[in-house]
Structure 1
């Protein structure tokens, strides 16, 4: 097989005015955002001409099956893996991925979690000489848009601030990410609660009137997705990544609040993997 053409994926670390350059393979001209059905856990794939970005990896090896349905058999590279926070339902699947895919870089938040499983993961990343990048507010990843569109696409960390330290719940330290893709805004919220949602109000107020997709926080927990937050972001589509659980997730009150703002709801336990395609005009197509 001939060697594919190469592009540069630029990691613009704005806060430090520093740039990481990572060479990635050109594999597809189709831009895709997928919310993967990994059960009671999170995993989202952003795939385009510049490469593959995976946010979280779910709780087990189901991630491999879901990735295999989207990525072609010859594409076994994750250019950047982003761990929103160190909970098992977000990182356990990464152990499986490490044996099947080449991971070029991993972005972590600034929460030091003493659990043995997370420490084992850190040791595994170190053993494999995988580049570790610290994520915090202002860090962004940008790449050239598809042909026909001039504006670059960008994935931006909007929470937490660089100097904010955490000593209790990993959920409070979640990396929150905003993806500006053509005329669309995707918000990846991890497992944040209403307390963290309040801190995003100024950013949400700055967003233009575009088509918006929300990854509903914490599998639809009633401690997240407050009225204030939902009204500020005002998504047209809401994605709930959830599986069989004993936590009453998604909570009926969350579903009610989403319905009240007119958001169309998709659930991975009902709809399976939810995949979005961006055409050359920037329009969003849901599969």
Structure 2
């Protein structure tokens, strides 16, 4: 099962940190949203995840392997970075078959993606004549041409009508339910909360909130301090809970009793254990955007 891990990722441009100490991990079967105000570091993080750039420090790994696995074109990752890079003068079918050829896939695979995307009826049309919703369908067909375990989708729902948004969300959920990982950025918080299992909120290059969401999930956060952070990190990596470490404390998206039991079974002494109920995604995002948000733990995310 696929496992995506970011550890202490920093991206520095000159003397400025576009990202600072970003850490999170995502397991198979999960849709993770990325949100944050303009300039928060979302685009930079997406570039690093998709292999268009490399961290100044820290690592991004898939299944514990080399960070090089996240480069665009490698078999483990499908990437959608918008529709502006689609060639306007080619037909839909030509576009799919050309990219299939360049990526070592068969013509039949390209035709399969054409049907899957619902674009068979417009296969002979030039890309420049397509609506935005059709272009997004083509972009997602291209992102899934090769068998892939991870989808990175940058603003796939932006500007779409309700029907197109519903289709995009169904693609994400089906991909996750088949054992994959989806990382999706969006400014549409209602839609993001509806489709994502959790949302990472960035502000000023730091991960300030990691919130569980979705209609079937009641958000519960546990705050924890222990005497052995390294052993706890290993124990938490087996649980699938979203977690963040800062200034000697852990914020863990899991029930208090279960978190305490996890530490006990690992033989780790608990110094502090308390419950902290999370706020709604929109309320948290509004606080971040206004500069009024204060993370539940002091200090930046490590």
The alignment's TM-score, normalised by the length of structure 1, stands at 0.30
Q: Which has the larger radius of gyration?
A: 2
Q: Structure 1 or 2: larger helix share?
A: 2
Higher relative contact order (CA 8 A, sep 6+): 2
